Structure 1
Amino acid sequence: MRRRFIADTWTDTTAALTGDQAVHLARVLRAEPGQIYDIVANGFLHRAEITRVAADEVVFTLHEELEANAALPLHLLLAIFKFDHFEWAVEKATELGVGSITPVLARRTEKHLAQAAAKRVERWRRIALEAAKQSRRTDIPAIGDPFPLKLALEQESAATRILLSETEQEVTLKSALGGSKAGEVALAIGPEGGWAPEEMALFTTHQWTHVTLGPRILRAETAAIAAIAISSTCLS
């Protein structure tokens, strides 16, 4: 199985790795012109041949396009919680194929995490990039800037909107999805301590369906991964 990289820059016929990716390929893997790799450029997977190797850039000629799996049409609204757990959730959500992630500032997001979140976004994007390469994705999930919940809900455009709720006992995630494969699905995961009552009311106002994952109380990152895995059976 050929190694796969996600290009930093590209044209219609060429692609290039720069920065750390180029250093790894040139110095660690000892890349040489003529070697063949799989390269993702502009969201498409190609067989590609190295044409030039420099210390800070490796250039490829793009050959035939290869078949690849698309990302899940799933937008994850993930309330910010402890950063090490949040970053684990970003990594695993990427591996499972989620299409995009919006970090959400919730009522019960700890104050120091909310204040520091904007400075962590680039780290989260790097984590998603590495996870995409590791899992052989052909794209990287878009990770937005942190939004207050109210603004995130006002901007949500997905036709199907699902909220994991500790108070819901009857409606399951699988039944709410209903086996439908049409359009994007938005999935909201709350912070440690759950959503505040006024936030639950806000979700209802914006026509989100409240669902349960079962009788057990899960950590936020566990709930996110379980929900993505269940959703993938209905959306892929």
Structure 2
Amino acid sequence: MGGSGYEKGLRRFYTPLIDTVRGIATIEGEELRHLKKVLRLKEGDPLVVLDGRGRAFRGRVERLSRFSALIRLGEELEPSTESPIKITLLQALLKGDKNTLLVQKATELGVSRIVLFTTRRTVREPSVERIGRLKERLERVSIESLKQCGRTLAPEILITEFEDALTAGTTSPLKLIFHERAKTHLKEALGQPAGAVTVAVGPEGGFSAEEVALAESKGYRAVGCGPRVLRAETMGMVAVALVQYALGDMG
């Protein structure tokens, strides 16, 4: 391997169609449209391709056609932009486009897994069909953020119910649930090193006492984050940034 996962000046394209045996990648769909119509790359132009699973390669456009671009792979790049700690963000589903903003910023901040969930205070219980569409859209948002911020590994995105979300986060040795009445401050909880952290953030109006008790029964520690009340979408971003500052690679 050589170089870093983020090559300054080279355009980055996502594709799951990377064949290292043959030394080629294929770009299709919206990424192809962006390559041809927006950036107007030509045969022979250099770029970077990434698969969203941690691999990135330098390459050159070898052939352009109506439905695909064939990329000749060069050296594999060292993925140096991933966080040294694995952060799982459990976030209550938000209204409208706020979920998009949350996933975009969580990806930029280095989150490994984003689990959106419903609670008793969720504004409206989404249908299975709507959940599927939302998940697909948020995965596209994550890929776009991945390309922009220099990461190579896209966060896993799940949408489920609250108790299942708590279970998804129990693999982390440090598990935190934010609650405005918590007696422990976040600063105290982050006093010891941890290789993986789960942070749970509630909906507008916060978690109910029963939900906090359920989380605590699964090993979560209730923490607060200062005297001011933050919006749900703000709290998720702030929580991740503070964890990265205290234990990760920010600051």
TM-score > 0.5, shorter chain as reference: yes
> Are 2:186 and 1:173 equivalent residues in the alignment?
yes
Deviation (angstroms), 1:190: 0.4
> Are 2:40 and 1:27 equivalent residues in the alignment?
no
Other-structure match for 1:221: 233
Other-structure match for 1:77: 90
Other-structure match for 1:198: 210
Residues 1:178 and 1:59: Cα distance change in structure 2 (over 3 Å): farther
- Deviation string 1:36-65 (CA, Å, 9 cap, x unpaired) is 112213422221111121222112122112
Deviation (angstroms), 1:107: 1.4
Residues 1:202 and 1:48: Cα distance change in structure 2 (over 3 Å): same
Q: How large is the Cα RMSD of the aligned pairs?
A: 1.8
> Are 2:110 and 1:97 equivalent residues in the alignment?
yes
Give the structure-1-normalised TM-score: 0.91
Q: Contact 2:118/2:125 (CA < 8 Å) preserved in 1?
A: no
Q: Contact 2:116/2:165 (CA < 8 Å) preserved in 1?
A: no
Aligned match for 1:53, one of 29, 48, 64? 64
| Structure holding more helix per residue | 1
Q: What CA distance in whole angstroms lies between the structure 2 residues aligned with 1:25 and 1:155?
A: 37
Other-structure match for 2:49: 39
Q: Contact 2:104/2:141 (CA < 8 Å) preserved in 1?
A: yes
Give the secondary structure class of the aligned counterpart of 2:49. strand
- Within 5 Å, give how 1:127-206 maps onto structure 2: 127-144=141-158, 146-156=159-169, 157-169=171-183, 171-182=184-195, 184-206=196-218
Identity score, percent: 33
Residues 1:37 and 1:174: Cα distance change in structure 2 (over 3 Å): farther
- Deviation string 1:63-101 (CA, Å, 9 cap, x unpaired) is 112233114510111111212222211111111111110
- The amino acid across from 2:199 in the alignment is L
Give the structure-2-normalised TM-score: 0.86
Deviation (angstroms), 1:142: 1.1
Give the secondary structure class of the aligned counterpart of 1:111. coil
- Deviation string 1:106-139 (CA, Å, 9 cap, x unpaired) is 1111125577444311111111111111222212
| Large movers: runs of 4+ above 6 Å | none
> Are 2:133 and 1:119 equivalent residues in the alignment?
yes
- Within 5 Å, give how 1:2-13 maps onto structure 2: 2-12=10-20, 13=23
Give the secondary structure class of the aligned counterpart of 2:90. strand
